């Protein structure tokens, strides 16, 4: 557990540095009359993640939490199974984005996660799986004017209805 904690913190710190560097391809400061530059949110969120990794490494060095003092394995058989099920769901989500759209993939992933993995009731799983992507659609497409991948043409009728509500 102790080795896993510092390796994960180190990996996430390197990822944070890469994302901070990559986000500087766009302006990261405030642009007068327009607001934050395109790289501002990625840069500052990555900076916060880097600070958190530093805190994890500091606590690891001090041995101030149970994980930093443990010689137990990071994942037992249940942990590996859960990692594979959730990771497989995320791979499926990414694979579905270009087929059934970002919002369709979100709906399928949420249903998989809440009903199949979470074992919640069907009505709750369907509610979350349908309401969340619609709310995200109105937030990104309507309020933020950011277009997400819309998938293959068979998804157009659904989006046409939602665009009619926005415009």
Count: domains in the chain: 2
Quick one: 94 and 164 in the same domain? Answer: yes
Domain boundary among 56, 72, 88: 72
Quick one: 100 and 164 in the same domain? Answer: yes
pLDDT digit string (tens) for 66-117? 877 888 888 889 989 999 999 999 999 999 999 999 999 999 999 999 999 9
Quick one: 56 and 100 in the same domain? Answer: no
Q: 37-66 as b/e, with b when 16 or more CB fall inside 10 Å?
A: bebbebbeebbebbeebeebbeebeeeeee
Domain that holds residue 63: 1-72
Q: Is the full-model pTM beyond 0.85?
A: no
| 8 Å CB contact between 61 and 50 | no
Quick one: 88 and 106 in the same domain? Answer: yes
Quick one: 136 and 117 in the same domain? Answer: yes
Quick one: 87 and 124 in the same domain? Answer: yes
Q: Is the pLDDT of residue 65 over 90?
A: no
């Amino acid at each position: 557990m102790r080795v896993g904690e510092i390796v994960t913190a180190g990996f996430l710190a390197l990822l944070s540095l890469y994302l901070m560097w990559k986000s500087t391809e766009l302006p990261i400061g405030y642009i007068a009359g327009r607001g934050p530059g395109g790289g501002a949110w990625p840069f500052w969120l990555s900076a916060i993640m880097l600070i958190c990794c530093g805190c994890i490494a500091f606590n690891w060095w001090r041995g101030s939490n149970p994980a930093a003092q443990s010689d137990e394995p990071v994942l037992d058989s249940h942990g590996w199974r859960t990692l594979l099920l959730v990771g497989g769901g995320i791979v499926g989500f990414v694979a579905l984005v270009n087929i059934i759209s970002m919002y369709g993939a979100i709906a399928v992933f949420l249903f998989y996660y809440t009903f199949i993995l979470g074992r919640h009731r069907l009505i709750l799983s369907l509610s979350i799986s349908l309401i969340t992507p619609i709310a995200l659609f109105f937030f990104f497409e309507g309020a933020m004017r950011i277009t997400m991948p819309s998938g293959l043409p068979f998804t157009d009728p659904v989006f046409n209805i939602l665009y009619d509500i926005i415009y």
